[in-house]
Amino acid sequence: MQPMPEIILHHYGLSTFSEKVRVALGLKGLAWRSVDIPAAPPRPLLAPLTGGYRRAPVLQVGADIYCDTNIILPALERLHPSPTFYPAGCEGVARGLSFAWDRTMWIPSIGILSHFIGDQFPAEFIKDRKEGYLGIDISKAAMAPELHLHRQRVAAQYGWLKSALADGRHFIFGDKPSALDLTCYQTICLLRKNCPVEVDALAGHAELVPWFDRIAAIGHGRPEPMSAEDAFAAARDATPAEVAHLQPDGDPGGLRAGSPVTVTPDDNARVPVGGTLVAASDNEIVIRRRDPQAGELHIHFPRLGFDVVAA
């Protein structure tokens, strides 16, 4: 049997969706290779691996490429089941609520962040976020009129999280951290790490601080730096793993294995990634692409948050 290829994470420090995965790797106590990517494209050695999907993070295992945290965590769970991301049978609820939390919290969290540090965002960063990523102007001046709404929306989400933890439990589902804890931690981390020290994003929500600190204490596992060139070579030298956990004709919309399809995020950075359908389910889709330099790749996406159509 071939040894399992190394786990490679393409990410950057400021990216808190990446932080969700870094802590997930820590929770599983894994060794992994860390490829530091720029905070905005061009990412010339990553784009050929993802087929153009532009967001961060991206997980790579040999010639298998996982786009979006909602597929990265289930993939890590499949490859390394213990300790689980889904204690107490919480997988369905954790997946559904994670998606809802990320969707409802991202723009309000950026709005609050921009209020505190938006004046320091470089002009080219604001331009990239508007034109290539979110479709909105995240400068302090542009976000300011909705600041009160962003604060309300964030506080309302913190409200249910406080209720969930009110009986003194350590994590949302009991005494073990779950994927949902990591998701909720992710957006709070964006504010706690990046706002000025005198502004605590959890001021007024002190009940959440011990929970937040417990998750922060999990750490990031054992990262070892890797160059983008070496990661690219690892994809080129590997062949995609056989997809044993999904049916070739498992697409709920009736698309068959071998059909040309595109997969496109339905919220932002809506770059269609084209390929040949390998296998699918209600939860996942895998497509095959051939890159002239990297060779054959399998690219994995979650179904939540992505549109799959016949090409």
Ligand X SMILES: N[C@@H](CCC(=O)N[C@@H](CS)C(=O)NCC(=O)O)C(=O)O
Q: Which residues bind ligand X (CB under 6 A)?
A: 15-17, 40, 54-56, 68-70, 102, 133, 305
Tell me how far apart the alpha carbons of residues 89 and 68 are, in angstroms, rounded to a whole number. Answer: 23
DSSP 104-148: HHHHHHHHHHHHHHGGGS-HHHHHHIIIIISSS--SHHHHGGGHH
CB contact at 8 A, 287 and 298: yes
CB contact at 8 A, 282 and 255: no
CB of 266 to ligand X, least distance (A): 10
Nearest to 270, CA basis, from 309, 310, 307, 300: 307
Q: Which of residues 10 and 165 has its CB atom nearest to ligand X in the complex?
A: 10
CB of 156 to ligand X, least distance (A): 21
CB of 132 to ligand X, least distance (A): 7
CB of 72 to ligand X, least distance (A): 7
Q: What is the DSSP letter of 99?
A: H
Strands across the sheet containing 64-67: 222-225, 31-36, 7-11, 58-61, 64-67, 295-302, 284-291, 273-280, 260-265, 306-310
Per the listing, tokens 């003194």 go with 168
Q: Which helix (H) or strand (E) holds 280?
A: strand 273-280
CB contact at 8 A, 208 and 188: yes
- What dihedral angle (degrees, nearest 10) is formed by the CA atoms of 145, 150, 155, 157? 160
CB of 237 to ligand X, least distance (A): 26
Q: Which of residues 55 and 192 has its CB atom nearest to ligand X in the complex?
A: 55
What residues have CB less than 8 Å from 281, skipping those under 6 apart? 246, 247, 250, 251, 252, 303
Q: Which of residues 50 and 84 has its CB atom nearest to ligand X in the complex?
A: 50
CB of 98 to ligand X, least distance (A): 9
Q: Which of residues 106 and 171 has its CB atom nearest to ligand X in the complex?
A: 106
Q: Which of residues 8 and 56 has its CB atom nearest to ligand X in the complex?
A: 56
CB of 254 to ligand X, least distance (A): 26
Q: Which of residues 32 and 257 has its CB atom nearest to ligand X in the complex?
A: 32
* Closest residue by beta carbon to ligand X: 55
